[in-house]
Amino acid sequence: MTNTSPLDINRWQVIFANVYLCTLPALVIIFLPMLVGGMVEHLGMTAQQAGFVATADMLGYTIGTVVSFFFIHKLNWRTLTLGCIILMAIANGISGTITDYETLLIIRFISGLGGGVLTAVTFAAIGQMRDPDSAYGWWLVFQAAFGFVGFQYFWDISVNGGFIVLTVLLVLGTLLIRLVPEQALQQGNSRQGIDKSMVGKAIAGVAAILLVYIGLMAEYTYLERIGNEAGLSPDEIGTAFSAMSIAGLIGGGLAAKLGAKFGRLIPALLGACGCIASFYLLSADQMDFSLYAAACCLYFGLWSFLLPYLVGACAAVDSSGRTLAMGNAAIGAGLAFGPFIAASLIGENGYGILAGVATAFVAVGFLLILPLLKALGNTAEPTASSQPIN
């Protein structure tokens, strides 16, 4: 496919559009604690059932990202994006009208499928930008900004109302379709791919993202329930989540500002250690509002700071985008397995067990990606990232 006027992937309008569209599937993740709490409080589900509904959504997301790996470079990206938005809008609209557990499982799975493909397309576009680390940082900033508004102003709406809000945001996304690249790199561009000496490190990096996300999501899924069990009021939990979103803005904004100027190793180490520390603050025996809010802020702020460096490493190591695509699939798998593992464990053990489980996954994941972070040094971009896209 050849366009007479190639789309400059590094224009701020294009960056904004693709980051916004990439954020839409993530909103279910951002509001997951609120949705899980709402399904328990308003729909009469058990905590485990609510966790399994979240798992269904994330499982669909995972399958969508994995399947897209086989056709993403063959189909028109704008058409794919529009189709995914329509599918997700319909699924979220239906979700806003039903209360049945089994039906909601199926509808959320379908919505997740569209979200996985949409994220794969926009991730691929962002990965070819001049500074993908910075763009991924802005992606986390967008998530945190939406989270702040949602937690601040929509905390009291029903879980069904939350799905309706997501539907409106998806419909607004159709206005940005023209700023989505129509395909991958311009025909005739050289795509050097990954150096053979880096293949093992790249595979370990993808596995690391999977493990880190399992750990983060295991804790995050029941973050609202942890506050509820500690005796905090809905208003206090909502305030803590709003503060958490501001921390996410700061963490993602800092990653976007710094990029890979000072390497990825030290920022990733700080992010991983901070997240682990937050797990144990959240498992404290005597939990008051101040401790809960501080732990939430530390948790989400450093999550938002850590992720761009992990994903940016996958973008930098492989100019073909395949490692990045698999890193995105790993995020999807982590999103699915994290809630599933958490829901499976809390039945007899309570929420306290989540801290140790999350720590183990994040720590092992960081050790796996350590060789890749060291090898990349201060490399900020894949070899072909600055090329315009048709």
Alpha-carbon distance 228 to 249, whole Å?
25
The pLDDT, as a whole number, for residue 187 is 39
Count Cβ atoms below 10 Å from residue 137 Cβ, excluding itself.
28
Contacts with 160 (C-beta within 8 Å, 6 or more apart), sequence order: 42, 95, 96, 97, 98, 99
Q: State how many domains the chain has.
A: 1
- In 3D, which of 51, 49, 45, 19 has the Cα closest to residue 32? 51
Q: Give me the helix-helix angle, 12-30 and 47-68, nearest 10°.
A: 150
Contacts with 42 (C-beta within 8 Å, 6 or more apart), sequence order: 158, 159, 160
Alpha-carbon distance 322 to 326, whole Å?
6
Contacts with 161 (C-beta within 8 Å, 6 or more apart), sequence order: 96, 154
Residue 36 is assigned to a structural domain of this protein: yes
Distances (CA, A) of 90 to 79, 122, 127, 157, 168: 17, 20, 29, 20, 11
Alpha-carbon distance 116 to 121, whole Å?
9
Task: Cite the DSSP H helix spans in the chain.
Answer: 12-30, 32-41, 47-68, 77-95, 101-127, 132-153, 159-173, 199-220, 223-229, 234-258, 265-282, 289-317, 322-349, 353-376
Residue 186 is given by DSSP the state P
- Cα 333 from chain centre: 11
DSSP per-residue string spanning 200-228: HHHHHHHHHHHHHHHHHHHHHTTHHHHHH
Task: Give the angle subtended at the CA of 346 by the CAs of 293 and 59, to the nearest 5°.
Answer: 90
**DSSP 3-state assignment of 177?**
helix
Instruction: For residue 348, count CB atoms less than 10 angstroms from its CB and return exposed for 0-12, middle for 13-18, buried for 19 or more.
Output: exposed
Count Cβ atoms below 10 Å from residue 326 Cβ, excluding itself.
22
Residue 87 is assigned to a structural domain of this protein: yes
Residue 216 is assigned to a structural domain of this protein: yes
Distances (CA, A) of 231 to 44, 224, 288, 316: 20, 11, 8, 45
214: domain CATH number? 1.20.1250.20
Distances (CA, A) of 200 to 308, 317, 335, 371: 21, 11, 24, 10
The pLDDT, as a whole number, for residue 154 is 63
Residue 329 is encoded by which pair of tokens?
A: 């699939």
Task: Return per-residue pLDDT of the chain as tens, 390 residues.
Answer: 444 456 777 788 888 999 999 999 888 877 888 888 888 888 888 888 888 888 888 889 888 888 887 887 788 889 999 999 999 999 999 988 888 889 999 999 999 999 989 988 888 888 777 777 677 778 878 887 888 887 776 656 677 778 888 899 999 999 999 988 887 654 334 445 566 767 888 888 899 999 999 999 999 988 988 998 889 988 898 889 889 888 988 888 888 777 666 678 888 999 999 999 999 999 888 889 999 999 999 998 999 899 888 888 887 777 666 777 778 778 878 888 888 898 888 866 678 888 899 999 999 999 999 888 888 765 544 433 322 222
Residue 236 is encoded by which pair of tokens?
A: 């206090």
Residue 3 is assigned to a structural domain of this protein: no
Per the listing, tokens 């419909």 go with 171
Residue 143 is assigned to a structural domain of this protein: yes
**DSSP 3-state assignment of 185?**
strand
Residue 250 is assigned to a structural domain of this protein: yes
Residue 381 is assigned to a structural domain of this protein: no
The pLDDT, as a whole number, for residue 194 is 62
Alpha-carbon distance 344 to 355, whole Å?
15
Look at the pTM and tell me if it is higher than 0.85: no
What is the length of the chain? 390
Residue 304 is assigned to a structural domain of this protein: yes
Domain that residue 261 falls in: 12-184+193-376
Per the listing, tokens 């295991």 go with 218
Distances (CA, A) of 163 to 40, 176, 192: 16, 21, 42
Residue 130 is given by DSSP the state S
Alpha-carbon distance 39 to 53, whole Å?
9
The pLDDT, as a whole number, for residue 389 is 29
- In 3D, which of 150, 155, 159 has the Cα closest to residue 234? 155
